[in-house]
Structure 1
Amino acid sequence: MLFLYMIQFCCIQKENLGQFLKMNWARWRDIFYKQPIEEIRKYFGEKVALYFAWLGWYTALLFPAAVSGLILVIYGFIYIDSNQVSKEICAVNTTITMCPLCDQGCPFWQLSETCTYAKVTHLFDNEGTVLFAIFMALWATVFLELWKRHRATVVSCWKLYCWDEDEEELALELINNPKHDLREYQHSYFRSIIVLLLVLLMICVLIGIAHALVIYRVLVMVTFMQSSCNFIRERANTMAVLSGAVLHYVTIVIMTKVQINACTFKKPRTFSERENNFTVKIFTFQFVTHFSSLIYIAFFLGSFSGSGTAGVQCHPSGCITDLFIQMATIMILKQTLSNCVEYLSPWLNYKFQKSCKKPQGKGKVHMEKGALDPCKEEWLRNYRLNEVNIFSLFDEFLEMMIQYSFTTVFVAAFPLAPLLAFVNNLIEIRLDAIKMVRLQRRMVPRKANDIGIWLQVLEGIGILSVIGNGLVIAISSEFIPKQVYKYTYSPCMLENHTNIDCLTGYINHSLSVFRIRDFEEHMLVCSVCPGRYRDYRNTDDYSYSVQFWHIFAARLAFLILFEHVALCIKLIAAWFVPDVPMSVKNKHLKQKHRNLSEELE
């Protein structure tokens, strides 16, 4: 009888916690309030509670990053009309004729037609971009270190600081089956080779898809260039980038389904090992899928400049605007559509099941009064909700890791990414809360004292962010060519002028001359005017000029300097901020001392 009362008490406690979370957490009007992590832990278990604790911590620390990115864009907007490069491109008397942007079908065009493009580029490719990239590298390190400290404090309060997950799983297996046969650690080189080959094959497929998207972009731009509508023809490049980004997002959705089915080949020893292996493979595929076209635009598209030889060229202001458009489109579509599907799918399913449920008589619904009635009512109510997957948290973490990658890896090209992530996460927390409390069955509680392998994923992304942003500034941005021109070839250096902008003449300096008369098929198109294209080549033989090698050396030197400085800052920040607070360490040290003293007495 005492056992029944204990069960009843626990059920009532869970029912009260469920109602508390409904009224104080899973509501839209609580979007700016602190999450009740302790109540979440008692109702869902430590694993779910740690996810929401991490998500809340990540969202809170996104605020300074979002403000910094917004300040960078505002700075570019304030000085958008005074930017010398934009002035030269937008000048009414500019008569620079540019070469076609593709091999066939694209006409010659005037540089002044891309005035808006140049001004937009200055919003995020300005003097503050380098400082913002270094700040984000430091931010990623500080965020991880502060999370480690916060995690240690939280799990210490939960008495899980020294908890061993492997021991817990073995204990559960023995409880369920006392004659359980222990599965020892095994490693098959043949199976590992097969998995590695499959991974490489999948990555090759993703690279092929990236190339197909590039070909699609070329074909679409040629089609838009040949349009009779002036509006479409003038914005052919931007529309091609936008449509390519949308198509890229569609391929992401399709490849995600394929990748999940392809990553169940290896059978691990335990559930935790299975979860970790699945996480590594899926995140690798997802990262390559999301960033394949971005890597091409950032690091390869700008390297194939010339007189139409590459199929597609960058704007004279650089390739960073194409990267900005691609990132913004994919990130907005992913966050918007993912949230809609994530919430509407269980909501519609719940409403459908509720409408299809036939009403029953009172005698069938209301059971005889007894000690277990409240428990059974709570169980039945929870059972009528949508079924929950055993890897339900995996999709949530994966979505946040891809978002974190967008927020850090190429943030120099998209400073508004932290702001979009911050707004999305405020909504994401409540969406997940409503889904877990009101629309889905309560997950089986599981213990945890960390977010698991996702922490290693975050550390890897932090290193990639330093490399990625350094490459974006060195290759995609015009920051280095501008500095080389300013301090080597500008009027300020050659003519000792102090009353003019040192970037005066930069556009003309950065465009090479293409003699159209050298190619008979183009003589009827433009017999007197030379075509210009974005590159540093000699007019006589189209070989690389001295300026090209100066800029190449400056890019390489900047990349090495930037990555070493940023990595040193990361290492110093990681060393300066301890992973575990001293109060937590001292608490467990005193506990160990007390236990040893009691044993020795």
Structure 2
Amino acid sequence: MVMSTVFLEFWKRRRAELTYDWDLIDWEEEEEELRPQFEAKYSKVERVNPITGKPEPFQPFTDKLSRLMVSVSGIFLMISLVLTAVFAVVVYRLVAKEQFASFKWEFVKKNWQFATSGTGVCINFMIIMSLNVVYEKVAYLLTNLEHPRTESEWENSFALKMFLFQFVNLNSSIFYIAFFLGRFAGRPGKYNKLFERWRLEECHPSGCLIDLCMQMGIIMVLKQIWNNFMELGYPLLQNWWSRRKIKKGSPRQSMENKGILPQWDEDWNLLPMNPHGLVDEYLEMVLQFGFTTIFVAAFPLAPLLALLNNIIEIRLDAYKFVTQWRRPMPARATDIGIWYGILEGIGVLAVITNAFVIAITSDYIPRFVYAFKYGPCVDQGYRHEKCLRGYVNSSLSWFNMAELGNGNSGYCRYRDYRAPPWGSPPYDFTLQFWHVLAARLAFIIVFEHLVFGIKSFIAYLIPDMPKDLCDRMRREKYLVQEMMYEAELEHLQKERKKNGKRYNHEWP
């Protein structure tokens, strides 16, 4: 989380250097030309541009607001579709766990929870990849419906929609496992059921982090493999197929067989670049950035997998842009547009999410409370490994199996902080439960404020522009002022000499 702040601050420094090197310091988006679609749509409505002072097509506020409302409604509709898909996967897990628990193979029967989670993750990944195709088309239609003014506005609007769609699509199941799985399952004798038939799923006995790590690991690895195939394998197949479609016996084909086809024709046979520009490239990196920061406390291996993927991706992208894609048209830009704001939003979300993961999903807080309040080292005032002796027994509650009415007798243990059957009242939350809950809430508040304070302090310490670049810019500004001063002084001297000659000539 702190590293994400350092990354963004150093990116701003790098962005300042690139902007200076490409002479884009004073370039403004107002200099960008209007989209032809915008001019054709609003050619009859004009207003004077306050920057240039020239009349140009104008989109009325009411028209812009109505189109924006339709676009927002479409976004919420697609997000609802994502949540529906997640709910379908949850129902599958509830049905599959019963099937795997009664499976004929002893290995699958003993590991029914891992089998349920593994198959659920694979099905969820296939749904994610399928819905991504739909989301891209919907985002394209909604963005065109808004009629953005310039190409940069179109790309920013399209990029925001694609990020919202794919971020929710990719992380909704992970949020479910991290914060909802097993939270509303109930207790023995009073389990909550879905549709009054299937008992709600619980976490693995070792904790919900196992399910969360499995979900993140499988999705991250499969997604990286799929993306690498689509970035390199798909262009290779497309270019191979386009070369085969050239008719045999034509002059062009004979020239190609002899290896004398002009370079521009060979370049034209390559796959055209995505019409969305670099949106897909940015989107892939931003989603990976979110994957490695939002749940890094639960899956510390994510940054390493991202590093290995990026090392491979750098070479694949270089090969793709040089040999498989046509050269794209250059366009001016002073920064990465809306993506920087998205990265900052992910950094804020990562702090909040990791605080909840540590406090709620992991066993860190219950262990901490037990060691300092209920463990064998309470009177000694320090924490040691021996202070956690008896923690497992303290985290388990008692249940009288005779209450089920199926002929069983005796007692069983389940993971919760509830009073025993002989308690008063039975199965009510114990004082330890409320101590753990209070400690979790306190940890979330302290952790968030502490990390946000550190992030702000680091952002303050790291300047947005390198000192040598700042000195060069100030030096250039000083030289320009000197040149303007000297030019104005020379102009005044010439005017004075000219006026002096005229005065001497007119004097009798």
TM-score when normalising by structure 1 = 0.70
Residue 247 to residue 384, structure 1, CA distance change in 2 (3 Å): same
What corresponds to 1:547 in structure 2? Answer: 432
> Which shows bigger deviation, 324-333 or 355-364?
355-364
- What is residue 105 of structure 1 aligned with on the other side? none
Alignment of 1:16-415 (within 5 A): 137-169=1-33, 182-184=56-58, 186-187=60-61, 188-263=64-139, 264-265=141-142, 266-307=146-187, 309-310=191-192, 311-357=200-246, 358=248, 365=255, 377-415=262-300
Compute the displacement of 1:483 (Å).
0.5
Kindly provide the amino acid, as one letter, of the partner of residue 169 in structure 1. E
Q: Deviations over 1:443-471 (max 9, x none)?
A: 11112221111111111111111011111
- How does 1:390-469 map onto structure 2 within 5 Å? 390-469=275-354
Determine the C-alpha separation between the residues in 2 that align with 1:408 and 1:498: 30
**CA deviation string 1:97-133 (max 9, x = no partner):** xxxxxxxxxxxxxxxxxxxxxxxxxxxxxxxxxxxxx
Structure 1, 308-317 or 147-156: larger mean CA deviation: 308-317
Deviation at 1:495, TM superposition (A): 8.8
Letter in 2 for 1:550: H
Give secondary structure in 2 for the equivalent of 1:382. Answer: helix
Instruction: Evaluate the alpha carbon distance shift between residue 143 and residue 363 of structure 1 in structure 2; reply closer, same or farther with a 3 A threshold.
Output: closer
Residues 371 and 383, structure 2, Cα contact 8 Å, conserved in 1: no
Equivalent position of 1:518 in the other structure: 403
Letter matched to residue 283 of structure 1: F
What is the CA-CA distance between 1:221 and the residue it aligns to? 1.1
Q: Compare 302-311 and 492-501 and name the one that shifted more.
A: 492-501
1:535 has 2:416 as partner: yes
Question: Helix, strand or coil: the match of 1:246?
Answer: helix
Q: Match for residue 46 of structure 2?
A: none
Runs of 5+ consecutive residues of structure 2 not aligned to the other structure: 38-42, 44-53, 193-199, 489-508
Residues 270, 325 of structure 2: 8 Å contact kept: yes
Asked if the contact 1:305/1:314 (under 8 Å) is kept, the reply is no
Deviations 1:45-82 (A, max 9, x none): xxxxxxxxxxxxxxxxxxxxxxxxxxxxxxxxxxxxxx
AA aligned to 1:229 is W
Contact 1:302 1:318 in 2 (8 A): no
State the superposition RMSD in angstroms: 2.5
Q: Deviations over 1:1-31 (max 9, x none)?
A: xxxxxxxxxxxxxxxxxxxxxxxxxxxxxxx
In 2, Cα distance between the equivalents of 1:457 and 1:598?
42
Output the amino acid matched with 1:336: I
Any conservation in 2 of the 1:306–1:313 contact (CA below 8 Å)? Answer: no
How far the C-alpha of 1:334 sits from its partner, in A, is 0.4
User: How has the CA–CA distance of structure 1 residues 362 and 534 changed in structure 2, closer, same or farther, with 3 Å as cutoff?
Assistant: closer
Q: Which residue of 2 aligns with 1:570?
A: 455
- Whether the 8 Å CA contact 2:224–2:309 is kept in 1: the answer is yes
Q: Name which one, 1 or 2, has greater alpha-carbon Rg.
A: 2
- Structure 1 distance, partners of 2:384, 2:168, is 49
CA–CA distance in structure 1, aligned partners of residues 35 and 83 of structure 2:
45
CA contact (8 A) 2:156 2:338 kept: yes
Q: Give the aligned residue type for 2:243.
A: K
Shift of residue 305, structure 1, vs aligned partner: 4.7
Give the C-alpha shift of residue 424 in structure 1. 0.5
SS of residue paired to 1:233? helix
* 8 Å Cα contact 1:206-1:289 kept in structure 2: yes
Instruction: Give the Å deviation of 1:212.
Output: 1.6
Instruction: Give the deviation of 1:154 after TM superposition.
Output: 2.2
Alpha-carbon deviations, 1:108-163, whole Å to 9, x = none? xxxxxxxxxxxxxxxxxxxxxxxxxxxxx110000000111012112212222222
Cα 1:232–1:253 change in 2 (3 A) is same
Shift, 1:228, TM fit? 2.1
In 2, Cα distance between equivalents of 1:362 and 1:285: 44
Per the alignment, in what secondary structure is the counterpart of residue 182 of structure 1?
strand
**TM superposition shift of 1:324:** 0.5
SS at the partner of 2:104?
Answer: coil
TM-score (norm 2): 0.83
Pairs aligned (count): 448
Structure 1: how far apart are the matches of 2:201 and 2:469? 57
3-state DSSP of counterpart to 1:335 = helix
Q: Give the counterpart letter for 1:312 in structure 2.
A: E
The one-letter amino acid paired with 2:419 is N
Percent of aligned pairs with the same amino acid: 40
Q: CA deviation at 1:353?
A: 2.5
More RCO (CA 8 Å, sep 6+): 1
